[in-house]
Amino acid sequence: MSDPNVYTIGWICAINTEYVAAQEFLDEPHDPPEFVSPHDNNDYTLGRIGKHNVVIAVLPEGAYGIDSAACVARDMLHTFRNIRIGLMVGIGGGAPNAKNDIRLGDIVVSLPGNGQGGVFQYDFGKTIQEQTFRETRYLNQSPNVVRASVAGLKAQYERKGHQLEQAVNHRLEDNERLKEKYAHPPPGTDRLYKSEVVHPPDSEASCVELCGEDPSKLIARKERGKFQLNSTIHYGLIASGNQLMKDAIIRDKLANEKNVLCFEMEAAGLMNHFPCLVIRGICDYSDSHKNKEWQGYAAMVAAAYAKDLLDRIIPNKVEAERKVVDVLASVGELVNETLSYSRDTNITFKTWKRKKEIDDWLLAPDPSSHYNEALGRRHKDSGRWFLLRDDFVKWKTKKNSFFWLHGIPGCGKTVLSSTIIEDLDQGSSTQPLLYFFFDFNDPEKQKKQKVDKMIRSLTSQLYYKREETQSLLDSLFFASGEGHQEPAPKALRKTLSDMIQQAGQVWIALDALDECLKHSERKDLLSWMIDLVSSEQRNVHLIVTSRLEQPFESKLKEWNHDKDVVAIQDSMIADDIRAYVRTRIREDSDFKKLQGHADVQLEIETSIMAKSNGMFQWVKCQFDNLESSSCDIRSLRTALSSLPTSLDGTYDRILENIPCGYRLNATKILQLLAFSDRPLLLKEVVDAIAVRVDDDPPFDPDDRMFDPLGVQQFCPSLVVLAPGKDTRIVGDVPELELHFAHFSVKEYITSTRVEASFKTSLNEVLAKACIARICLAYLSQLYLDSEQGTIWKLKTEFPLAQYSAQY
């Protein structure tokens, strides 16, 4: 069978041992292909497993890592263009810990969870506060049909056990020449050394000779129970990187922080463009105690699992999947992204460890969450008008250029910033783009001030984007006691300046300067900006957004510089707002009842556009309010005729319309968001709402809301839920925080302009006193029990406890 179009399953192996194991589990071998693409350099074995035709490829001898895997997948798709799903099957290093009893000969299968797609690239990223590792890119999960079959096979194994070891033995009986290398090693060779026990480097002697079998060096493990098979299957996260993991300390760190089960070297090159399930037989423990005794058996048992899985997948389900080549914009995209990523970052495991130390020291905020959030709110093609302006086009090329884009509250400056950043980022690999979003939700009373945070963030971004600048920050790191001392602000600014000069040309985008709240910081920020673009030794293109506020305006007028200043006017964004309005009217589920009533739709559009005055935030609030009035034409027209004309008027009406039964909870939420010292997690707010300080008891867990997401109904249009910037992953998503929907909301709530019936309760002194009473009442219901792991219990069962105790 030589027709390449009949093969729908692509199976990739990394080394020859895996390739041999895969071939042994073919039910029927096929003849080699008679023709391969001129662009295809792979070696193939063809055959049938169950009812599927499978093409197996192996990485070239001596070629390992994510880019080599990407090349093999790319070449395979040049010839076998009908492939629908892929398998990456072979060996890997286990990451055992107290939670995961992983042993040699076990199997790890990549499955999504904890906010990951099943595989993540561990050798490029950064560790932030509280030991949370943040990788730089998200990798896709395997196809639905494969994951469904994994679930079915998992249930089958749980009910009846598996026969994987028997299947391996059966293949070895048929091919006895493989027994010595591929049979199950003696159980006594499975030794898990303590993390601090390091195998002497560059030694040819065995681990038994050098490290010994002293129980004090080994981690004691119980014998597995009667129904626990020799090869246990584990499902979850596989860490993939360009370098072989041989460090038990880092292994344990990632296993505990990310629940990593296994380390390997190829899968990260495949996941985004080659729909792939990763199956790894465990042959070592990702530490310095490497040996090859278990490689053959681990490869065989992984191949046996892959065969069981393919036997379970129904062929027509595979045919229903899209061809991989159709998923790709072009076949070349597969390798180009991965190779470009690897080349641009030039990350090796050794340099990753050093950069991780610098990240721990620098603690730079990651602005990508703000950027992605703004992109998510952007309406299609919004902001294109600005990208086409002559002054913006000239700004991008003029040396030491400065552009100030200002506008009224709620006109969409942050969303426009995301459009600008997206446009500039298209060439950022060779022309580095740095950006930062000042955020009113960021706590004001943290140790690091906002300008300092910005400097740290820009420095970190440039460090990773331009290799030639890295030695400058490395020098400051060493001068600071290799991270034991905080980077001095003045020294860090000087280092960033030198890095920008070294880079040759840099683009910088700063959003919402007016949300740098302290007056002293605003002056400091303006002085830094002026100095940045005034030096002939640098070539900086700086663009900033803010409101038109006196400190910015007066300082910029004093500055004798060739600069562009553009006010965002209603006429500029009218088309963007109109497109948004039309989409809301025609596509929102609450307004679909108006389909077929073109005259009513036009009436809504005309009324809102007439009063919008260039305020996206105002328009959004009106739609949120109109949803409840869209049940009949008369109510809708009444609501349209009385639309408020300002944001303050809009917020007044929202507060006035909060039902009496919701007002107590709404007041608590507004007090907490306006006057807390840090953002609050959704689960913390839920418990605060449940507190009744005058009741006995003041807090009962049974009083919590049935649906925590419903907190938004108490203050509609004023608050939003968003993933926390530095929170951990729970389940499949980051923990949620409750925020004000817009900077103008917080300004209104904390001002003397707030609606009369809420004015007293939102007085700062009274509000903080109310928060304190809630915290004290909550804490009064907790007790210490040293026998029951109190700290863990408090954090999990009483989420407001930590906040209450601290503030």
* Residue among 416, 396, 394 at smallest CA distance from 405: 416
- pLDDT tens sequence across 644-678: 888 888 888 889 888 899 999 999 999 999 999 88
Place of tokens 């300080």: 693
What is the Cα–Cα distance from 801 to 776, expressed in whole angstroms? 10
Place of tokens 């993939």: 240
Which amino acid belongs to residue 69?
Answer: A
Other residues' Cβ atoms within 10 Å of the Cβ of residue 639:
17
What is the Cα–Cα distance from 529 to 510, expressed in whole angstroms? 10
* Residue among 439, 451, 434, 479 at smallest CA distance from 678: 439
Other residues' Cβ atoms within 10 Å of the Cβ of residue 27:
14
CATH topology of domain 4-338: Rossmann fold (3.40.50)
| Residue 767, pLDDT score | 92
| Average model confidence (pLDDT) across the chain | 82
Whether 234 contacts 100, CB under 8 Å: yes
> 63 CB contacts (<8 Å, ≥6 apart)?
none
What is the Cα–Cα distance from 108 to 255, expressed in whole angstroms? 13
CATH topology match: 4-338 vs 363-568: yes
3 state DSSP class of 737: strand
Maximum distance among all Cα pairs of the chain, rounded to whole angstroms: 89
pTM of the predicted model, to two decimals?
A: 0.54
260-264 vs 119-121, strand pairing mode: unpaired
85-94 vs 276-284, strand pairing mode: parallel
What is the Cα–Cα distance from 148 to 313, expressed in whole angstroms? 9
What is the full DSSP assignment across 173-184? HH-GGGHHHHSP
Whether 65 contacts 347, CB under 8 Å: no
Which amino acid belongs to residue 387?
Answer: L
Summary count for the chain: helices (H), strands (E): 33, 22
792: which 2 tokens? 């863990």
| Residue 609, pLDDT score | 85
Other residues' Cβ atoms within 10 Å of the Cβ of residue 466:
19
Phi and psi torsions of 730, nearest 5°? -125, 125
* Residue among 556, 606, 571 at smallest CA distance from 411: 571
What is the Cα–Cα distance from 233 to 106, expressed in whole angstroms? 6
Whether 538 contacts 500, CB under 8 Å: yes
Half-sphere exposure of 711 (CA within 13 A, CB side): 31
> 19 CB contacts (<8 Å, ≥6 apart)?
13, 45, 56, 58
32: which 2 tokens? 């080699």
Other residues' Cβ atoms within 10 Å of the Cβ of residue 659:
9
DSSP character for 131? G
What is the Cα–Cα distance from 186 to 188, expressed in whole angstroms? 5
* Residue among 131, 257, 115 at smallest CA distance from 723: 115
Flag residues of the chain having pLDDT under 50: 125-134, 136-138, 329-335, 337-339, 341-348, 428, 444-448, 727-733, 784-789, 792
What is the Cα–Cα distance from 284 to 293, expressed in whole angstroms? 9
* Residue among 405, 421, 395 at smallest CA distance from 541: 395
Which whole-number Å values give the CA distances from 663 to 658, 681, 688, 689, 714, in the listed order? 6, 21, 14, 11, 7
DSSP character for 136? S
What does the radius of gyration of the chain's CA atoms come to, in whole angstroms? 30
163: which 2 tokens? 């026969």
The share of the chain scoring above pLDDT 70, in percent, equals 85
Run of H or E including 255: helix 248-258
> 713 CB contacts (<8 Å, ≥6 apart)?
662
Whether 52 contacts 87, CB under 8 Å: no
Q: Where are the domains of the chain?
A: 4-338, 363-568, 571-643, 661-806
- pLDDT tens sequence across 35-64: 888 778 899 999 999 999 999 999 988 777
What is the Cα–Cα distance from 353 to 408, expressed in whole angstroms? 45
Which amino acid belongs to residue 421?
Answer: I
| Residue 352, pLDDT score | 60
| Residue 163, pLDDT score | 92
- pLDDT tens sequence across 454-510: 999 999 999 988 889 999 999 999 888 888 888 989 999 999 999 999 998 999 999
CATH pick for 363-568 out of 3.30.1330.20, 3.40.50.300, 3.30.365.10, 3.30.70.3040: 3.40.50.300
* Residue among 310, 282, 279, 308 at smallest CA distance from 297: 282
Whether 590 contacts 600, CB under 8 Å: no
| Residue 623, pLDDT score | 82
736-740 vs 719-723, strand pairing mode: antiparallel
